[in-house]
Amino acid sequence: MHPGDWLLTPDERGNPATGIDDGRPDGTAWSDGNLVRPLVHGAAYFADLLAAVRRLRAGDLLLFTDWRGDPDERLAGPGTEVGDVFAAAAARGVTVKGLVWRSHLDRLRFSERENRHLGEEIEEAGGECLLDMRVRPGGAHHQKFVVLRHPGRPEHDVAFVGGIDLCHGRRDDARHRGDPQGRPIADAYGPHPPWHDVQLAVRGPAVGTVESCFRERWDDPAPLSRSPLIRLRSLLHHEDTTAGTLPPRLPDPPPCGPHTVQVLRTYPNRLLRGHPFAPDGERSIARSYLKALPRARALVHLEDQYLWSPEVVSGFARALATAPRLHLVAVIPPVPEQDGRLTLPMNLIGRITALEELRRAGGDRVAVYGVENPAGTPVYVHAKVCIVDDTWASVGSDNINLRSWTHDSELNCAVLDGTPDGRAPADPGGLGDGARRFPRELRLQLAREHLDAAEDAATTAALCDPAGAFRAFADSAAALDAWHEGGRRGPRPPGRLRTYHPPELSRTATALARPLARLVADPDGRPRRLRRRRTF
């Protein structure tokens, strides 16, 4: 397997202004020698993060970005609140720097107040946290990563990258009882919404690349907001609006594992004045999918919060139309996060049209599922994971929609593993790349949870086979669907999957939802020339 068959070259990234690929003697846009570990669910991620932050010493470095941060969210039990843990690190001499999206107003069900208070706690302890609104109108900074560096102890360096915010509602585990500090979403999920999510713990040279992404944003000389009103509010709240100096950048950590990692981003084409590190935007996440998907031959396993937009799923549809053996499994939220009279159709219309396009291309080779917990409560799928033929895996903050591929800031890691997985089928794609340990184990871990499956040899062998996994999902969902339709009589079948049936919208709702979806829910942040050419 050659990484260049799956990963973007520097030119294919499409953003010559960025420096994150500089300095590699081989001129690649990826790094070898990393060790990547998936952390499935917030409880697993938060436990790792808490232990790693508590190990930091004076002179170490903690950098983080977030979409929403709740200072009182507990990483474990009492006394582990995010604000307190990060502030304690700053108080003992750790350099703590954060970039949190300023957010829209709280009355629009966003997190303006919480994000401001997280920054205040960190600043009072000697750290620095800026509220960053350098986005397109209606846009957001959606990157969610933490970088920990240890001068003189690079073996401890780690970057946590994925879709999990440091906020209420995220600390769930495989039992899916929800975070005790729940955050209300659609009524179907209850007061403590069960939450399915994934983060990566990355060690090795790629940590330096993720750090470079933070530094590019931190060193952006543009004001944190262009709005005179927001600037006035910042003045009244005595907010820190000037980025302090970062310590000199350390060399990348040394190689420590078999994984090749490519760090991918979305930045929009900002109006008037763009980011100096992406003046025309960056759409390398979109481009990475469009390079990997044409190589798909057996199974695309997708877990996503949205799965919207026909223009975005067209790459998946082309792969299905081209490869007659290819199957696609998608795990999505059974109900959108917002269920208002206007917001629900606005959230559904992009998914309905996207699924129609996928099914036109793949027919019964496309299967879409929601998830429920053992009590029958729907699970909100917030994960952003794609695995192609057990060879290529992508995990990060981006969703399958135009907003994530073009409009908001996002960060993903695409992972290739140098370690072949010897279990049959050894080469499910048939292209000679072979199944690889990391993507296959991640897919199996997710599948076992959804199926309530054991880790015995027979079950594992069946799930390793793409066709077997596709059948196992279908059979499990059919059994659970039948149990519900039969009045829940008798023992509940194992498994948590429910077949997803998109609702029908009236003509009036559809007519109203389409413009709202394009302008509000799923806007397009590409330059006009790319929109006209329908490329990324």
The residue from 208, 240, 257 where one domain ends is 257
User: Are 401 and 497 found together in one domain?
Assistant: yes
The residue from 217, 241, 257 where one domain ends is 257
User: Residue 431 sits in a domain of what CATH number?
Assistant: 3.30.870.10
Mean predicted lDDT score pLDDT of the chain: 94
Look at strands 410-417 and 392-396 and give their pairing: antiparallel
pLDDT at 482 over 80: yes
Q: Is residue 378 part of a domain?
A: yes
pLDDT in tens, 375-395: 999 999 999 999 999 999 999
Using a pLDDT cut of 90, give the percent of the chain over it: 88
Average the pLDDT over 174-181 and give the result.
97
pLDDT at 286 over 50: yes
Q: Is residue 195 part of a domain?
A: yes
Q: How far is CA 123 from the centre of its chain?
A: 28
Average the pLDDT over 514-529 and give the result.
93
Q: Kindly indicate the confidence band of residue 522, based on its pLDDT and cuts at 50, 70 and 90.
A: very high
- Predicted pLDDT of residue 173: 98
User: Are 462 and 342 found together in one domain?
Assistant: yes
Q: Is residue 528 part of a domain?
A: no
Query: Residue 170: left if φ>0, alpha if ψ -120 to 50, beta else—which one?
Result: alpha
- Give the number of other CB atoms < 10 A from CB of residue 489: 6
d(CA 92, CA 81): 17
The residues, any chain, with a CB within 8 Å of residue 338's CB and separated by 6 or more, are 109, 185, 186, 344, 346, 347
Task: For residue 124, give its domain range.
Answer: 27-257
d(CA 501, CA 351): 11
Average the pLDDT over 141-147 and give the result.
98
d(CA 223, CA 399): 28
The reply to whether omega before 253 is within 30° of 0 (cis) is no
Report the range of poorest mean pLDDT among 335-339, 440-444, 498-502.
335-339
Q: Is residue 210 part of a domain?
A: yes
Buried b (16+ CB within 10 A) or exposed e, 214-226: bbbbbebeeebbb
List the one residue out of 125, 70, 124, 72 whose CA is nearest residue 100. Answer: 70
User: Are 357 and 227 found together in one domain?
Assistant: no
- Predicted pLDDT of residue 114: 56
Please count the structural domains in the chain: 2
Q: Kindly indicate the confidence band of residue 106, based on its pLDDT and cuts at 50, 70 and 90.
A: very low
Residues 391 and 6: beta-carbon distance below 8 Å: yes
User: Are 240 and 298 found together in one domain?
Assistant: no
d(CA 187, CA 106): 19
User: Are 154 and 295 found together in one domain?
Assistant: no
Report how far apart, in Å, the C-alpha atoms of 393 and of each of 171, 201, 289, 413 are. Answer: 24, 14, 10, 8
User: Are 174 and 291 found together in one domain?
Assistant: no
User: Are 213 and 335 found together in one domain?
Assistant: no
pLDDT at 301 over 90: yes
Q: Is residue 266 part of a domain?
A: no
Report the range of poorest mean pLDDT among 112-116, 122-126, 184-188, 360-364.
112-116
User: Are 209 and 316 found together in one domain?
Assistant: no
Residue with tokens 């994984």: 259
Residues 59 and 151: beta-carbon distance below 8 Å: yes
pLDDT in tens, 210-252: 999 999 999 999 999 887 777 777 777 778 788 999 999 999 9
- Predicted pLDDT of residue 419: 98
Q: Is residue 237 part of a domain?
A: yes
- Predicted pLDDT of residue 108: 46
